[in-house]
Amino acid sequence: MDAKEPAESEEVIFEDLDLIYIFSSDLGAPVEAEDLKELLERFSGRYRRVEGIWIPPEEVRPTPEFIYHKAKGLGIKDADKIDIKELIKNEKFIEEIIRAHATFGAIISEDRKVFSPEYLELGRYARLELIDLNVRIKDRKLSYLNELKCELYLLLHTTGICVLTAWIHLSGNFSTDDLIGIGKELYYAECTIEDPLGNVLEGTLDEFIGGVIIKTLRAAVLFKGKYGSYDAAFDALERGDITDDKIEERLRTPYLSARAVLCIRKHKCNGKCVTAEEAVENHLREIVGISRACEGWRYQRIDDARKGLGENLSPDVNCAMFVTDPVSLFFGFQHTG
Ligand SMILES: [Zn+2]
């Protein structure tokens, strides 16, 4: 992957970023806690891009699809003919699976800290790690980004709500205008989306997330009753019997909430910022411009910019956090020159 060249030297340059999209959507109806496991197993068998499933209070369970995919990647001969119970006897193999789920494991250990054991025992929600996507940008304006890795995590709650998180790392150097463009356009940019299993989709992240993942889950939850099973509902979706219109008319709300969080770990400037707190003050227009996706950020009045950013939620001067619209910001501090 080619890193992007710095923009003009007098500008602030941001480096080492993560752009995180968080989508919350209605699946149309509640899912009983005892049905959740079956839904996830059927979804994972059909969608074939699920790496791991966690239904509290149990441990994370890697899916058979992921175990075989990993075994093949590690060069285990005739992996698909070996029983899973045999494969997972290999300690190195298990270490590899745990390494692959490091971020997923960190999310789950946060849940275990935040929620009481009594709540987790109820199994009211589940988390899934989906297979990483390779996103090749075709859109002319963003083509300099080349290829991006996108990690996907899904949360399903028995109330029939799902939250999908798409985590994209941006390596290289970016100006304020670059980041405003990325924040506005990346989600709708034409790209080729590939996964390591060889599935390829030409389209946008919006089409993939809404049109593939969320639509599949909505079809399962809304039409299991009509067709008799989750699998039969997936078949009906594939045949085209379950259309977008039929899904939409049964939803409790068509509203799909999309939020973006930009994590900036480093920046380069001509100033003398020593902490994230100072960096926010010194580069207020840039930071507010990114958070508001405002191309006219250079002309913003400073007191208006300060007001727009709101309260810094970080208790620590080496980090700054703002919940802003349309892009929330997590600003870490590592000055690189
Ligand atoms: Zn600075």
Q: Give the distance (Å) from ligand 1 centre to CA of residue 16.
A: 15
Within 10 Å of residue 243's Cβ, how many Cβ atoms? 11
Distance CA 115, CA 87 (A): 33
- Give dist(CA 38, CA 70) in Å, integer: 24
Query: Is this structure's pTM higher than 0.75?
Result: yes
Check residue 200 and give its pLDDT: 93
Inform me whether the pLDDT recorded for 3 exceeds 70: no
Residue 8 has pLDDT above 60, yes or no: no
Give me ligand 1 centre to Cα 149, in Å. 28
Q: Which residues surround ligand 1, an ion (CB under 5 A)?
A: 269, 271, 273, 279
Distances (CA, A) of 136 to 104, 105, 153, 204, 212: 24, 27, 20, 10, 18
Select the more confidently predicted residue: 9 or 204. Answer: 204
Tens digit of each residue's pLDDT (9 = 90 or more) over 243-263 = 999 999 999 998 888 899 999
> Which amino acid does the sequence have at 169?
H
Handedness of CA 116, 51, 98, 104 (dihedral sign): negative
Ligand 1 centroid to residue 278 C-alpha, Å:
8
pLDDT of residue 4: 52
Residue 336 has pLDDT above 70, yes or no: no
Has residue 117 got a pLDDT over 60? yes
Cα–Cα distance measured from residue 326 to residue 19, given in angstroms and rounded to the nearest whole number: 12
Q: Burial, 276: exposed, middle or buried (Cβ in 10 Å; 0-12, 13-18, 19+)?
A: buried
Q: What region, left, alpha or beta, does residue 160 occupy, with left being phi > 0 and alpha being psi -120 to 50 degrees?
A: left
Residue 136 has pLDDT above 60, yes or no: yes
What confidence tens digit (pLDDT) does each residue in 217-253 have?
A: 999 999 999 999 999 999 999 999 999 999 999 999 9
Look at residue 96 and give its three-state secondary structure.
Answer: helix
Tell me the CA–centroid distance for residue 334 and ligand 1, in Å.
10
